[in-house]
Amino acid sequence: MIFLDNAGTTKMFEECVKTYSFYACQEYFNPSAVTRKSTQVFSALNETRNYILKKLGACEGTIIFTGGATESNNLAIKGSMRGGDNEYVFSSGEHPSVLNVAKNLAQQGKNVHFAKLGKDGRVDLEDLKSKLNEKTRLISIIFVSNETGAVNDIKKISAIRDKFAPRALLHIDAVQAFMKIPFQVEDLKIDMLTFSAHKFHGPKGVGGLYVRKLSILKNIVDGGGQEYGLRSGTENVPAIMALKTALEKIDVKKNFENVTKLKEKFNQTLLEESGIEVLDFKGSPYIESLIFKGVKGETILHALEENGVIVGLGSACSSKKQGNRVLEEIGIKKEDIVSSCRVSFNAYMTEEEVVRAGEIIIEVYNDIKKRVS
């Protein structure tokens, strides 16, 4: 099997499995207890927090461990809300775990605005400016689109925030960016940042929220007061420590260069078939979309799986819904959207794999076209 849906999830490193097993079966102690063993586990968690801060390039701040990106995004948005005449700004290209929170806030009568996307798949900065003012409390923007791979210019966005909404907090959904593309939160002036372990070969069910200052947030769930009172509940120690193991294995720059080469090789293979269009937004090398002229994307997806290649239809959190709002937002024709699939790579694939995947895609596409024509 050749797996080309790495934006949906990634295979966990074997080393992570070993770490998980160690903390699940040997060092399984509750970090909130006061025994010596529990204290050691608590210290290991804090060492992991500091390690993540270094990976993020943060000179200050805290890591709140969560159950994954959806929880982190909810905590960032809902936990930073305050009373009064505040306004909240999002892009229309957000992941469902942000977009649906924003829509719910709007339904509750909150002042919510959505900045549109440009044809390049990125946030339209002029439109973003028009949505900001002195009442803006929060700006929440996805770093790398999980649908197209388009990369938003967070440095420019933070500069726009400073000029047009200086009191606003900046939250970044970096699920498709952290440990995949180089960046430093200090350089980008980010207040909160979301990440998820299973997007970079760690375990599912664990993620985190970087918070520049704890005073930014209030808890949204009451409990025993773990995670600085912001995320109560016993920490998922095995998964957190396995997350750290994944971080230790990854060389972001080296992987970025490798995936860039893999995608170029893959796209060169597809050039042999004129009926397949590559939607490459020149953003993250990890993600792109393909349009199969005259054939439904879902038909291609199932046929490819039968032939040993797995691709995606976009966000796994909304893949059962019709259409693709992000592609529609940037002006892709509806008939092309129906014919689209998302492919996403990881840095540990081989050139032989991506070339063979491209060949199989061409074979499957041509076979389906013959049968439906």
User: Which residues are the active-site residues?
Assistant: 317
Token duo for residue 224: 């025993």
CA–CA dist 89, 168 (Å, integer): 10
Alpha helices (H) along 95-153? 96-107, 125-131
Q: Label residue 111 exposed, middle or buried (CB < 10 Å: 0-12, 13-18, 19+).
A: middle
Could you identify the residue written with the tokens 């923007």? 141
Radius of gyration of the chain (CA): 21
Sheet containing 276-279: give its strands across: 276-279, 287-292, 340-344
**Residues 100, 139: contact at Cβ < 8 Å?**
no
Token duo for residue 51: 């390690």
**Residues 326, 147: contact at Cβ < 8 Å?**
yes
